[in-house]
Structure 1
């Protein structure tokens, strides 16, 4: 339906709200992915980064710093990325970042979805393709 998008409850639990931030839309735009291509812990990592920048460093989230700290990894692998959850934001080097833990298993998270209003500035609409690799 026009004006709506799919949202996964674990995404909302990990800080994704709509309308999403300019930074979040910039990240998914740069990597040419949709929000549902991400995994829940990837949403959490992005939320923590934004909070770190805004609340502790007192700067706007800086995309080049994000790319220095994180990389996007196809899930389960580059040849066969999943349509939902096919992109993972992963730390490049844990020694360079905050120490925190995430849930290692979120099995069944795909089934915890609902529709939500996708107001301006909105996320891009849904399609039936998995994420595609973008060279950085």
Structure 2
């Protein structure tokens, strides 16, 4: 991954995200902005650096307290994630709220996921070095993969780090301010698993049996991701209701990025949802007989 360079994003791209219900409309409060021709991010006070691809994968403000707490726990800034890591968190939160009927569960998260440090390796010199974005690599623990829902994310997100812009930090649940920090080594807390008592509580709650039952009924990551796009929900956004309570007759206020009819009428079409799923997930080509 290359170092920071001048953003390639245009206002029309962000306005397209607004029309799709993936980004808040810009008002006098200046919820987002694109500044001059700087080659390295230097957000104004109160702003952080975000990426178009993050908003296409379930990230939106105001922020859900689980997502905010997760990044604070790991000590990472938003740019330290990449699109697949955002997607993993969004799908996990949707699984908890929409299918298990519970708040996103931190101990369950630690049971299934760990964070490792991504570093770039120079081909010629074989030297590895830290990168300023996408370095916190959230991964499903291999020893737990069979207990989790099947989920295969995109194998290529080429160019995502070039489409950055400034997003107003949520004052109610702020993320860590942008510092441009590099990580020379993995932080110890990134690998922490649930302690013995926490794991026992998970077992006693029957959550693993519930996930297995859902898998037996066909639960798959693609369906979970497609489901919240159909409903115009952003899993990483704070919501007035848990996902499973968002029935067709439930009020939309406080559950979607915008319930303005102007934007509601321009939500993702079936074709756009299919295109989104092709971009964010990986489906291996069918084997010929």
- Is TM > 0.5 for Structure 1 vs Structure 2? yes
- Cα deviation, residue 102, structure 1: 1.1
> Equivalences for 1:1-80 in 2 at 5 Å?
1-76=44-119, 80=129
Equivalent residue number for residue 113 of structure 1: 164
Distance 2:180 2:153 in 1: 28
The SS at the match of 2:179 is: coil
| Contact residue 117 and residue 186 of structure 2 kept, 8 A | yes
More strand by share: 1
**Which TM-score applies when normalising by structure 1?**
0.91
Per-residue CA deviations over 1:73-93 (Å, capped at 9, x if unaligned) read: 11127x733211101110003
Matches within 5 A, 1:87-102: 87-93=136-142, 94-102=145-153
Q: What's the RMSD between the two structures over aligned residues?
A: 1.5
CA distance in 2, matches of 1:9, 1:3: 19
Instruction: Give the match for residue 134 of structure 1.
Output: 187
2 CA distance for matches of 1:56 and 1:123?
27
CA deviations over 1:20-73 (Å, ceiling 9, x no partner): 211111111111111110111000000000000011111111111101100101
Q: Which one has the largest radius of gyration?
A: 2
Q: Secondary structure at the match of 1:80?
A: strand
Whether the aligned pair in 1 keeps the contact of 2:76 and 2:176 (CA below 8 Å) is no
Give 1:130 shift: 1.7
CA contact under 8 A between 2:71 and 2:175: conserved in structure 1? no
Q: Matched residues in 2 for 1:96 and 1:105: separation? A: 25
Determine helix, strand or coil for the equivalent of 2:54: helix
Farther off after superposition, 113-122 or 56-65: 113-122
Greater relative contact order (Cα < 8 A, sep 6+): 1
> 2:55 aligns to what SS in structure 1?
helix
Q: Is the 8 A contact 1:81 1:87 kept in 2?
A: no
Flag structure 1 segments of 5+ consecutive residues without an equivalent: none
